[in-house]
């Protein structure tokens, strides 16, 4: 409806047809060339930007699922060599895409390769290190991710053209391909899967130069050979193993829920950082840079603080700071950005602790599968985050912050329901998971028994579900409590 003014009166002209623009002019003062102007992702096509990122996250989910199985079946290093060329080739295809459809197909293929690569490499790192070095491992893993984000900011600021940026990040995978030749297969995976000679060779190489400790290699291999004979390994492990007992089912469902919420908060804070402050490059760099102090805090928490207490403190801080951003006036953008950065710090710290605990809970037989379960289900949160960011563009920055605050509260509650694994060694088989539960219980009982000789029948109770799970007969002799016949 148009209203036209005249000298002597007015008249109305009705026109209900909506004319779509056939051409757009873009402001190139800040960027030379972007995906938005390449494929005209504006007006009624603006939602495709969020959809494109969700497709990428879906690819990560598929890659984590598929390569988690392959890694536990055929080895970490062997599977990695097939994944590394995928992002390189598909990344170049994406750069030269002529349609938005081809671009998204290429991006999904990139994500499939990257999802499997991250899953296998993180598991390989954790399995090759002793318990006392887990904190340093997570620092290196998270630190590498943070350096990548900061490098991306620098490249985007310098290049200002999505085509050259896509080529640059695709070629960077060549460094990973070169590094592959300098890493060894996980000795823990080799020994658990009956490849004793290969495992012995890797261990001797690791112990090279420490002659006084080389004799331990044969002892370690002998222990695995003895355990391997007792195991029936006719079937390859699958995701079903993660739900084979009530304890594992409960734990796996908690891991899935925490993965979705934790990654949703992470990407919400990352994507919406460009909506805070006056310079999107600096805002994104600040949020990425907060992961360095987050890594340091995670190292200290992993080494000295119980897992449940870490979740309680860190997720509570994340909820408080996310809520604070909602009530701070937009004029105080620096204060909003600061609170968002502190929320990123606290939730990132808790997330790093969670990754370590996930490796501690599950045995070597299904450890990569467990990481794959986490990586697969967490992508649901990652697929949701781009749309949350678009809602923030439409309705205000309070929308993603409200989602983050609520998610942190749920994460706090779920994190305190996971089994405590502080200062516990890795286990290799599913049977050892149950045995470790007995040991934890027996340690508690040992603290209250003081008689020298006697037998006690204990009806043990699962501390998480409050359900009975076995009867253990124990003896207390010379100050040591031992299980005689678990039923």
Q: Are 277 and 334 within 8 A, CB to CB?
A: yes
The DSSP result for 163-189, as a single string, is HHHHHHHHHTHHHHHHHHTT----HHH
**Torsion of Cα atoms, 155 then 121 then 82 then 264, to 10°:** -60
Q: Do 299 and 400 fall into the same domain?
A: yes
Q: How far apart are CA 145 and CA 288, in angstroms?
A: 9
Clarify whether residues 297 and 222 are in a common domain. no
- Both 254 and 289 in one domain: the answer is yes
**Which tokens sit at 443?**
């340690």
Residues 297, 307 contacting (CB under 8 angstroms): no
Residue finishing a domain among 162, 182, 202: 182
Q: For residue 467, tell me if it sits in a domain.
A: no
Q: Which domain holds residue 228?
A: 192-232
- β-strand partners of 5: 10
**Could you give the CA distance from residue 482 to residue 487 in angstroms, rounded to a whole number?**
14
**Within this chain, do residues 197 and 161 fall inside the same structural domain, yes or no?**
no
Task: Judge if 303 and 385 occupy the same domain.
Answer: yes
Both 37 and 163 in one domain: the answer is yes
Q: Which of 232, 264, 294 is the last residue of a domain?
A: 232
Instruction: Look at residue 143 and tell me if it is in a domain.
Output: yes
- Tally the domains of the chain: 3
290, 348 contact by CB (below 8 A)? yes
- Alpha-carbon dihedral sign for residues 153, 157, 159, 164: positive
Considering the domain boundaries, does residue 187 fall inside one?
A: no
Which of 232, 262, 297 is where one domain is finished?
Answer: 232
CATH of the domain at 317: 1.20.1250.20
Residues 174 and 198 in one domain: no
Q: H or E segment at 447?
A: none
In a domain? residue 480: no
Regarding whether 221 and 336 lie in a shared domain, the answer is: no
Confirm whether 5 is domain-assigned. Answer: no
Kindly state whether residues 249 and 129 are assigned to the same domain.
no
Report which DSSP code applies to 207: T
With contact defined as beta carbons under 8 Å apart, do 128 and 190 qualify?
Answer: no
In a domain, 18, yes or no: no
Residues 162 and 205 in one domain: no
Q: Indicate whether this model's pTM tops 0.85.
A: no
* Phi (first) and psi of residue 126, to 5 degrees: -65, -35
- Same domain, yes or no: 223 and 251: no
- 393 vs 56, 384, 398, CA distance in Å? 21, 15, 10
Position 354 in a domain: yes
Same domain flag for 215 and 260? no
β-pair partners for 4: 11
Q: In sequence order, what E strands does 403-464 have?
A: 455-461
From first to last of its 487 residues, the chain has per-residue pLDDT tens of 444 455 555 545 555 555 666 666 766 666 777 887 888 777 777 778 888 888 998 888 888 888 877 888 888 888 888 888 899 999 999 999 989 999 999 999 999 988 888 888 888 887 777 766 766 777 777 778 888 888 888 888 888 888 999 999 999 889 888 988 888 888 888 887 778 888 788 877 777 755 546 667 777 777 776 666 655 554 566 778 888 888 888 889 999 999 999 999 998 888 888 778 778 888 888 888 888 898 889 889 988 999 989 999 999 999 999 999 989 888 888 898 999 999 999 999 999 899 888 888 888 778 878 887 887 788 888 888 888 877 776 777 788 889 999 999 999 999 988 888 888 777 777 767 666 655 544 444 444 444 333 333 333 333 333 333 343 434 333 333 344 333 3
Residue 487 lies in a domain: no
């Amino acid at each position: 409806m148009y209203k036209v003014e005249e000298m002597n009166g007015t008249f109305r002209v009705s026109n209900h047809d909506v004319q779509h623009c056939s051409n757009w002019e873009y402001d190139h003062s800040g960027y030379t060339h972007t995906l938005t102007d390449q494929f005209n992702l504006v007006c009624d096509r603006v939602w495709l930007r969020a959809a494109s990122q969700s497709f990428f996250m879906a690819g990560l989910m598929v890659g984590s699922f598929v390569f988690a199985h392959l890694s536990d079946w055929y080895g970490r290093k062997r599977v990695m060599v097939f994944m590394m060329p995928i992002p390189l080739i598909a990344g170049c295809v994406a750069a030269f895409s002529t349609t938005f459809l081809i671009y998204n197909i290429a991006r999904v293929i990139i994500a499939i390769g990257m999802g499997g690569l991250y899953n296998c490499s993180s598991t390989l790192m954790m399995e090759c290190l002793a318990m006392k070095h887990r904190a340093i491992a997570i620092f290196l893993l998270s630190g590498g991710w943070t350096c990548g984000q900061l490098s991306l900011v620098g490249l985007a600021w310098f290049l200002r053209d999505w085509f050259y940026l896509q080529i640059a990040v695709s070629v960077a995978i060549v460094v990973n391909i070169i590094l592959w030749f300098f890493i060894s297969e996980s000795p823990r995976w080799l020994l658990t899967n009956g490849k004793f000679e290969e495992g012995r060779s890797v261990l001797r190489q690791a112990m090279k130069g420490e002659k006084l400790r080389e004799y331990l290699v044969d002892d370690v291999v002998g222990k695995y050979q003895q355990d391997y004979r007792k195991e029936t390994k006719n079937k390859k492990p699958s995701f079903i193993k993660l739900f084979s007992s009530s304890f594992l089912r409960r734990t796996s469902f908690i891991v899935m829920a925490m993965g979705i919420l934790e990654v949703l908060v992470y990407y919400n804070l990352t994507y919406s950082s460009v909506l805070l402050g006056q310079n999107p490059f600096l805002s994104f760099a600040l949020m990425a840079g907060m992961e360095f102090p987050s890594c340091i805090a995670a190292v200290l928490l992993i080494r000295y603080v119980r897992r449940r207490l870490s979740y309680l403190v860190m997720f509570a801080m994340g909820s408080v700071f996310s809520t604070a951003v909602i009530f701070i006036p937009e004029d105080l953008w620096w204060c909003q950005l600061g609170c968002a950065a502190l929320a990123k710090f606290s939730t990132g710290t808790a997330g790093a602790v969670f990754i370590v605990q996930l490796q501690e809970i599950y045995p070597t037989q299904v450890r990569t599968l467990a990481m794959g379960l986490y990586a697969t289900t967490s992508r649901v949160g990652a697929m949701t985050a781009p749309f949350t960011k678009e809602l923030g563009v439409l309705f205000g920055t309070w929308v993603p912050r409200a989602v983050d605050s609520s998610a942190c509260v749920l994460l706090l509650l779920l994190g305190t329901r996971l089994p405590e694994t502080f200062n516990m060694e890795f286990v290799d088989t599913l049977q050892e998971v149950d045995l470790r539960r007995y040991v934890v219980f027996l340690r508690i009982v040992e603290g209250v028994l003081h008689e020298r000789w006697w037998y006690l029948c204990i009806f043990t109770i699962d501390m998480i579900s409050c359900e009975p799970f076995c009867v253990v007969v124990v003896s207390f002799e010379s100050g040591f409590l031992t299980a005689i016949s678990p039923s």
